[in-house]
Structure 1
């Protein structure tokens, strides 16, 4: 049974393809990691085959994303798909383990960049620096956040912005209020 989509970029298959390419993997490399055939993976990426929940878990692990980021949130109105993301239909991404709640503001992962709404809980931090092959710009909407970039620590407050170009970084919110940051990342990492 063939499905018709108003926009072929707003599908699970398109997101998986975009994530695979952002990781520098070809079809056969990812298929081998998953223990699946190239043909099966190609069909999933073209939305001709639906992966099982177990397959999604394996894909999430191989692509280093949360399983929840692969699930579509509440369906948007047909004419809004690919254009609009309503506040109550954002997809959760990343992991809450370190006190960071992230939601995808972009309609999907098929652009050259992604936009993320990040809430850093009070007294939260990541201890190990992160380094990724991206260009990132953030804008602090509210609260305060300490950002360590290549050995320097900066305290950012509402209205401040920053850029990271592949440098190692880590964040800390040693303050009593959450910090909300809009984060633009190219290429997409989630």
Structure 2
């Protein structure tokens, strides 16, 4: 299990390590995929070596995340680091494909779960079902959403919550207003 120590300022290296482990990849797997040494990967994860933008693109591709996920929007004051994420300092995550805008609400990716703010733009949908080795719970704040989970379709309204446990799912917002949801995902996938 991933553990978070609130006394330690989390970093790019810590996030990379957490994402690698959440995907069941070893240092050797990453080294092989990137054409780098295990030592270099280890140094990056311990913040002893700084990867180039090209390296980050390759790492993001191997971890199946958007490269923007690896960058922080705004630095938190030292006493808030690891505790508070201000609304203007959320990290964008995901790829923004299909009209979905996601921001990380968790301070970093080093916990056993991540919390995500998701905005489903009007008249948007994901074409293909997604299956992830996760447990996810969502809560719809505003708008309306159609969810298909394991072949069943559900109309989700504000105040409704839902759970997905490794099942294939799709979403659709056929309405004129955005739908906004909070998701908790374990283990972290972004």
**TM-score range relative to shorter protein:** over 0.9
Match of 2:101 in 1: 101
Give how far 1:97 is off. 1.8
Match of 1:189 in 2: 189
Q: Distance in 2 between matches of 1:9 and 1:150?
A: 39
Matches within 5 A, 1:45-124: 45-124=45-124
* Superposition CA RMSD, Å: 0.9
Contact 2:9/2:81 (8 A) holds in 1: no
TM-score of the pair, normalised by structure 1: 0.96
Match of 2:3 in 1: none
In the alignment, is residue 43 of structure 1 matched against residue 43 of structure 2? yes
Match of 2:134 in 1: 134
Q: Distance in 1 between matches of 2:60 and 2:7?
A: 23
Aligned residues: 185
User: After TM superposition, which residue ranges in structure 1, 4 or more long, deviate above 2 angstroms?
Assistant: 6-9
Contact 1:9/1:110 (8 A) holds in 2: no
Q: Give per-residue Cα distances to partners, 1:108-164, cap 9 Å, x unaligned.
A: 000000000000000000010000110000000000000001111000000000000
Q: Distance in 2 between matches of 1:105 and 1:38?
A: 31
Q: Give per-residue Cα distances to partners, 1:164-186, cap 9 Å, x unaligned.
A: 00010000000000000000000
TM-score of the pair, normalised by structure 2: 0.96
**Which secondary structure state, in structure 2, belongs to the residue aligned with residue 98 of structure 1?**
helix
Contact 1:9/1:108 (8 A) holds in 2: no
Structure 2: gaps spanning 5 or more residues: 1-5
In the alignment, is residue 10 of structure 1 matched against residue 45 of structure 2? no
Give how far 1:8 is off. 3.5
Structure 1: gaps spanning 5 or more residues: 1-5
Contact 1:112/1:186 (8 A) holds in 2: yes
